């Protein structure tokens, strides 16, 4: 089995629109959780390797980005992805022509995202480590996208503040969630930051199970 950064990997071919994307990631997410390295980090800061899973919300978001259409001529809107995981969503934005910065807190996630950029021959995309609890005055984007980042109560307010601090006036953010309870507080947190939010509801079919609920938070930063 192929390995990358010491992980046995699984390669999936995912069709978004008219193109197939090859996405590699750790082969077994459940086994990864049980490793000694993850247990040690969890004891320090409740870390879990969420980045390593192929989350359904990522596919929903990737398909939704196709509605943006090609970026067109310069100046092209810039895109930041929070919690990029394995990188599928950022690949789509960059493939449409939007200069895209894919970010994650975990160095392994960033390395996999960089590898998936390379494998799919995507230009216009970079990947870097980023802590969304920090503020970087040099970073400002026209669009911010994120999937499955609203999974813990402690992340809700920092993500809302990050969007407030790094979204250009007149820009928007799109945050996709699969009905997690902590995300119920996201609209209030965004509103407290002076941003407008609209919730769109959707679902993903699952064979033999009830459809998976999807929420898309459309966040707008008013132009000044």
Q: Indicate the pTM of the whole model.
A: 0.93
Q: DSSP state, 1?
A: -
* Residues of the chain falling short of pLDDT 50: none
CA distance 64 to 44: 36
pLDDT, position 124: 94
Peptide bond into 75 cis (omega under 30): yes
CATH topology of domain 52-220: Rossmann fold (3.40.50)
Work out the burial of residue 39: count CB atoms within 10 Å of its CB; fewer than 13 is exposed, 13-18 middle, 19 or more buried: exposed
Query: How do the domains of the chain map onto residue ranges?
Result: 52-220
pLDDT, position 52: 84
Q: For residue range 188-203, what is the model confidence (pLDDT) as tens digits?
A: 999 999 999 999 998 8
Q: For residue range 58-103, what is the model confidence (pLDDT) as tens digits?
A: 989 999 999 999 998 889 999 999 999 999 999 999 999 999 999 9
* Cβ atoms of 89 and 55 closer than 8 Å: no
């Amino acid at each position: 089995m192929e390995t990358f950064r010491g992980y046995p990997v699984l390669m999936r071919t995912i069709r978004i629109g008219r193109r197939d994307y090859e996405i590699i990631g750790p082969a077994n997410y459940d086994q990864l959780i049980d490793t000694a390295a993850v247990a040690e980090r969890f004891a320090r800061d409740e870390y879990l390797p969420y980045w390593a899973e192929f989350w359904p919300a990522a596919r929903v978001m990737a398909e939704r980005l196709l509605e943006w259409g090609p970026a067109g001529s310069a100046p092209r809107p810039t895109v930041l992805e929070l919690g990029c995981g394995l990188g599928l969503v950022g690949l789509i934005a960059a493939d449409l022509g939007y200069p895209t910065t894919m970010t994650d807190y975990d160095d392994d996630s960033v390395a996999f995202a960089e590898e998936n950029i390379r494998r799919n021959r995507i230009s216009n995309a970079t990947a870097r480590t980023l802590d969304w609890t920090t503020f970087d005055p040099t970073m400002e984007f026209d669009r911010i996208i994120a999937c499955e980042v609203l999974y813990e109560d402690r992340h809700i307010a920092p993500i809302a503040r990050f969007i407030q601090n790094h979204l250009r006036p007149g820009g928007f953010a799109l945050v996709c969630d699969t009905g997690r309870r902590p995300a119920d507080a996201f609209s209030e947190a965004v509103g407290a930051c002076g941003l407008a939010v609209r919730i769109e509801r959707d679902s993903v079919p699952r064979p033999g199970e009830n459809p998976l609920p999807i929420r898309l938070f459309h966040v707008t930063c008013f132009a000044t």
